Chains A and B, each alone.
Chain A
Amino acid sequence: MKTDHDVIIIGGGVTGCAVARELSLWDLDVLLIERGEDICSGTSKANSAIVHAGFDAKPGTKKARFNVEGSRRMKELAVDLDFAWKNNGALVLCFSEEERAAVQELYDRGIANGLTGEELRILSGEEARKLEPALSEEVVCALEAKSSAIVCPFELTCALAENAAANGVSFRFLSEVTGVERSEEGYIVRLSDASVLKSRYVVNAAGIFSDSIHNMVSGHKLAITPRRGDYLLMDKEAGGTVSHTIFQLPGKFGKGVLVTPTVHGNLLAGPTAIDTADKEDTATTAAALAEVQERAAVSVPRMPFKQVITSFSGLRAHEAGGDFVIGECEDAPGFFDAAGIESPGLSAAPAIGQYLAGLIADKAGARTKENAVLTRTGIPHMALLSDEERAELILRDPAYGQIVCRCENVTEGEIREAIRRTPGARSMDGVKRRVRAGMGRCQAGFCTPRVMEILSEELGIPMEEVCKNVPGSELLIREEGK
């Protein structure tokens, strides 16, 4: 009997999309299933957006290996797939003489993980402040990681997904996997809409739900604890407060809070680390937001918190074993895990994708796809273009001359393009993540009605059906009798 697909990937976060992209280069039929209305709608959308250099994870762990590999690969991927990535470097701050040894330990760990002496350097407090004048006087020394970078996690995930789609991967949204069973040909995947799909291989990239998916087929149980991280995002005017990503040495102040510029020029502070029992609990709390402020101020005493434009929280998938769970499941051949992907998961994604795709292609005896598309061009960002480039684009498509989001200078052309791509935006959040409409200082106050209208037009749905994200998040109330 033939299966419906060669591979079903469960989860459309950055990991699932990276696996999809790498699998799409092989001659395989691949389907990606996502419970949200769009890709990048779980952990991938709410994190620190850092491409870690790789000095943090313990040598020998999967976290260490895939972080270093992924981070190296990210640079070329940013060129091939056209997403925002910036090598801004990082500093890990040490605030007490007693903890100097821990800085050296991090340095050694980095070298053991494969980083070079060129990439890492220990600075005195003075040298660190010379690099970053906003740093606290209390800093006694710091580890500088030159290869640390920042990335747009939304663009990264969209770029991977679009390239996968261009190579034939199909996507199915608003579908929750309710069961996975072994069968003769591979696996049977049951969905919440009662449909049943057959696949030779399954990839579990279900984020905070990757334990439940894994446990459907394996006797070696996984246990994911959602670990909430709260963040504060500041206006672009505050974006120049620091240029490096500023970490704190874990220790005296608990697991530290970072302060970093984003690739789009905002300033970000966070996260907290609060274990919760509820996998849907992405609500911020006043106490957590206060904690972010307090801890960030340890690194940068004059944090511009008056310029906060939004706060958010995300859930990291912390697995009880403490490491990533990556590879073919021992007692379920053909079932591949990418589970427990917490930090440095974003950095590691390109390497995880390549590794798992390689394993699957090998097992399936697949050949590389002829004429595979290896590059993807991003949606033009009018805000970043020169006047000449803008004029040319408007001449080609006048919709690029119509500003819709005035804070981020996002045009109608960009928004329509975001919806028209595959996989395209289906919601306000999908538009926001792809082109930043509503991401600026007014937080969608002015552009909401217009973006809703464009979504309604492009999707052919009434305004009352336009959602912030999943069904149930409609922005308008249907009037009685209509």
Chain B
Amino acid sequence: MSRTSSPEAAEHVGVLIIGGGPAGLAAAVAARKAGAQDLLIVERDRMLGGILNQCIHNGFGLHTFKEELTGPEYASRFISQVKELDIPYLLNTMVLNLDRDRNVTLMSRKDGIRRVKADAVILAMGCRERPRGALSIPGFRPAGIYTAGTAQRLMNIEGYQVGRRVVILGSGDIGLIMARRMTLEGAKVLTVAELMPYSGGLKRNIVQCLNDYDIPLQLSHTVVDIHGKDRVSGVTIAQVDERRSPIPGTEVTYDCDTLLLSCGLLPENELTRMTGAEMSSVTGGASVDESLQTSIPGVFACGNVLHVHDLVDYVSEEASHAGESAALYAASSEGERRADAEAVEIAVAGGVRYTVPQRIDPVRMPDKVTVRFRVADVYRDKTIAVYRGEKRLSARKTRVLAPGEMEQVILKKEELSGLTAAEGLRVVIED
């Protein structure tokens, strides 16, 4: 691809992948393997791999590679494939604009402003952490308040120590991992407070990162005050009632210099919104069909920008599917592309919060489609069932369902033939 000095001339790209993290990498590899030409990955950071680069703990890849890898190792497996397959990528490059006709404006130090017209676009921008401000935690606004991921980056990539005595609010996975990481670096993690009566993280992380280091997890607790005008000098935690309001008299103040926040991840869909794609208010991501195509033809989404995942293995799997779909779309002619969606919305009930995909086309779908979802609360001894109209297509008994873990069901084409919207398709949790 040649460098253009004038922002007027738009270059043609077959499949443009926005984001070079785990989702973008897997999508690009799959698109290439499915025959896509003229791929381009655009990454805003200094290297490919995304958030995996700072996840130096292991536990990645058990599903994908049947072995336990660190984040950088997991990323490198995909990065070497990208290189072997000769997939071009741009680093330190920001997508400033994306429209519904897949016109893209890029900006970088090296190339200035560059315009690209893509046959298909894969959105793989990932997510960001919910900041202190969005939590409306009262108190001072001193140094020493970090989202867990920012602290992780400063420690693991830049090599700095962010605090000595730490309180963590939120039991998301990054917070749990950071509790262990900071302990190993010599910091004292005093407690992890979680607003909800259950943890938002994986069970294995609670065991391996908190229990193994005797770090107390206080469920139904939150931060009610932050002390220290310049640097954090203390944090007050209180118990909350069923409505999540702090209970007066339960306050305990911890002397600490750092507050880490691990209070949820938010898909980064600024570009998605620019296209006018239909969004899901539950996931914070686009609403997609079984090919992971958004409501904008030729624009696909995968990974944490679509919905926040628990394991990177599922991100890779989902992204591969998006890559294949985008390759197919880019190679097809106008006539072959679907004009009007015949897709049926997947309804949810009984504690299923959402599904991805949100809709499915019984004719165009492949033989099997994996539908992923999360649940709203902790459920014990329940059954996950799929209904076509009143007919139960599948049922699976579960011991425990938790909001921190992603669940899935498989839909089979043979069971959905002739499915109509009137008939309906539902994923439910039942007794």
Contact B112 A309 (CB under 8 A): no
Of the candidates B107, B109, B134, B157, the one whose C-beta lies within 8 Å of that of A308 is B134
Contact A473 B138 (CB under 8 A): no
Q: Which of B158-166, B406-414, B415-423 lies at the binding interface? A: B158-166
The residue in A283, A309, A310, A399 that gathers the most chain B C-beta atoms within 10 A of its C-beta is A283
Task: Give the complex CA separation of A19 and B138 in angstroms.
Answer: 35
CB of A398 closer than 8 Å to a CB of B? yes
Which residues of chain A are near B107, meaning CB under 8 Å? 390, 394, 401, 403
Contact A449 B138 (CB under 8 A): no
Task: Give the complex CA separation of A428 and B226 in angstroms.
Answer: 20
Binary interface encoding of chain B residues 132-173 relative to chain A, with 1 for a CB under 8 A from any of its CBs, else 0: 111010111111101101100110011011111000000000
Instruction: Kindly report which residue of chain A lies nearest to residue B157, judged by CB atoms.
Output: A449
Task: Give the complex CA separation of A284 and B418 in angstroms.
Answer: 59
Which residues of chain B are near A454, meaning CB under 8 Å? none
CB of B391 closer than 8 Å to a CB of A? no
B200-253 CB contacts (< 8 Å) to partner A: 224-226, 229-231, 246
Q: Nearest-CB distance from B50 to chain A (Å)?
A: 12
Of the candidates A284, A285, A445, A475, the one whose C-beta lies within 8 Å of that of B131 is A445
Task: Give the complex CA separation of A99 and B134 in angstroms.
Answer: 36
Number of A-B contacts (CB under 8 A): 138
Contact B231 A387 (CB under 8 A): no
Task: Give the complex CA separation of A477 and B231 in angstroms.
Answer: 11
Q: How many residues of B contact A (CB 8 A)?
A: 51
Contact A443 B160 (CB under 8 A): no
Task: Give the complex CA separation of A308 and B138 in angstroms.
Answer: 13
CB of A280 closer than 8 Å to a CB of B? yes
Instruction: Kindly report which residue of chain B lies nearest to residue A287, judged by CB atoms.
Output: B138
Q: Nearest-CB distance from B94 to chain A (Å)?
A: 4
Which residues of chain B are near A283, meaning CB under 8 Å? 138-140, 225-226
Task: Give the complex CA separation of A286 and B135 in angstroms.
Answer: 11
Contact A442 B224 (CB under 8 A): no
CB of B128 closer than 8 Å to a CB of A? yes
Contact B133 A309 (CB under 8 A): yes
Contact B149 A473 (CB under 8 A): no
Contact A473 B134 (CB under 8 A): no
Which residues of chain B are near A311, meaning CB under 8 Å? 133, 136, 138
Q: Nearest-CB distance from A315 to chain B (Å)?
A: 12
CB of A118 closer than 8 Å to a CB of B? no
Contact A406 B44 (CB under 8 A): yes
Contact A445 B149 (CB under 8 A): yes
Which residues of chain A are near B150, meaning CB under 8 Å? 444-446, 448-449
Task: Give the complex CA separation of A395 and B109 in angstroms.
Answer: 9
A432-482 CB contacts (< 8 Å) to partner B: 441-446, 448-449, 453, 463-464, 467-479
The residue in A310, A387, A394 that gathers the most chain B C-beta atoms within 10 A of its C-beta is A387
Which residues of chain B are near A446, meaning CB under 8 Å? 128, 150
The residue in B92, B150, B157 that gathers the most chain A C-beta atoms within 10 A of its C-beta is B150
CB of B193 closer than 8 Å to a CB of A? no
Contact A476 B154 (CB under 8 A): yes
Question: Known interface pairs A403-B94, A473-B230. Does A309 touch B139 (Cβ–Cβ under 8 Å)?
Answer: no
CB of A312 closer than 8 Å to a CB of B? yes
Which residues of chain B are near A309, meaning CB under 8 Å? 131, 133-134
CB of A10 closer than 8 Å to a CB of B? no
Task: Give the complex CA separation of A390 and B150 in angstroms.
Answer: 29
Which residues of chain B are near A470, meaning CB under 8 Å? 230
Instruction: Kindly report which residue of chain A lies nearest to residue B144, judged by CB atoms.
Output: A475
CB of B113 closer than 8 Å to a CB of A? yes
Task: Give the complex CA separation of A470 and B229 in angstroms.
Answer: 10
CB of B349 closer than 8 Å to a CB of A? no
Q: Nearest-CB distance from B4 to chain A (Å)?
A: 10
Q: Nearest-CB distance from A330 to chain B (Å)?
A: 36
Contact B133 A443 (CB under 8 A): yes
Which residues of chain B are near A387, meaning CB under 8 Å? 7, 96, 105, 113, 115
Contact B112 A395 (CB under 8 A): yes
Contact A476 B138 (CB under 8 A): no
Q: Nearest-CB distance from A96 to chain B (Å)?
A: 31
Binary interface encoding of chain A residues 299-333 relative to chain B, with 1 for a CB under 8 A from any of its CBs, else 0: 00000000011111000000000000000000000
Contact B162 A477 (CB under 8 A): yes
Contact B160 A464 (CB under 8 A): yes
Q: Nearest-CB distance from B150 to chain A (Å)?
A: 5
Contact A473 B131 (CB under 8 A): no
CB of A81 closer than 8 Å to a CB of B? no
B94-143 CB contacts (< 8 Å) to partner A: 94, 96, 105, 107-113, 115, 128-129, 131-134, 136, 138-143
CB of A93 closer than 8 Å to a CB of B? no
Of the candidates A402, A441, A453, the one whose C-beta lies within 8 Å of that of B108 is A402
B250-271 CB contacts (< 8 Å) to partner A: 257
Question: Known interface pairs A448-B150, A449-B154. Does A286 touch B143 (Cβ–Cβ under 8 Å)?
Answer: no
CB of A282 closer than 8 Å to a CB of B? yes
Which residues of chain B are near A285, meaning CB under 8 Å? 138
Task: Give the complex CA separation of A40 and B261 in angstroms.
Answer: 29
CB of A388 closer than 8 Å to a CB of B? yes
Question: Known interface pairs A284-B138, A402-B108, A476-B160. Does A394 touch B113 (Cβ–Cβ under 8 Å)?
Answer: yes
Which residues of chain B are near A388, meaning CB under 8 Å? 7
Of the candidates A312, A401, A473, A479, the one whose C-beta lies within 8 Å of that of B143 is A473
CB of A232 closer than 8 Å to a CB of B? yes
Task: Give the complex CA separation of A399 and B112 in angstroms.
Answer: 10
Task: Give the complex CA separation of A467 and B231 in angstroms.
Answer: 9
CB of A289 closer than 8 Å to a CB of B? yes
Which residues of chain A are near B139, meaning CB under 8 Å? 283-284
Which residues of chain B are near A471, meaning CB under 8 Å? 230
Of the candidates A308, A402, A469, the one whose C-beta lies within 8 Å of that of B133 is A308
Task: Give the complex CA separation of A473 and B141 in angstroms.
Answer: 10
Q: Which 8 A-B pairs have the closest CB atoms?
A: A310-B133, A443-B131, A468-B143, A472-B230, A401-B109, A473-B230, A403-B94, A473-B143
Q: Report 14 cross-chain contacts, Cβ distance below 8 Å, ordered by A residue.
A: A283-B140, A309-B133, A310-B133, A311-B133, A398-B110, A401-B110, A409-B96, A428-B143, A443-B132, A444-B150, A448-B146, A449-B153, A463-B158, A463-B160
Given contacts A310-B132, A448-B150, list 15 more A-B pairs with CB under 8 A.
A309-B131, A311-B133, A312-B141, A387-B96, A391-B112, A394-B107, A398-B109, A401-B107, A402-B92, A442-B128, A445-B147, A449-B150, A453-B158, A472-B230, A477-B164
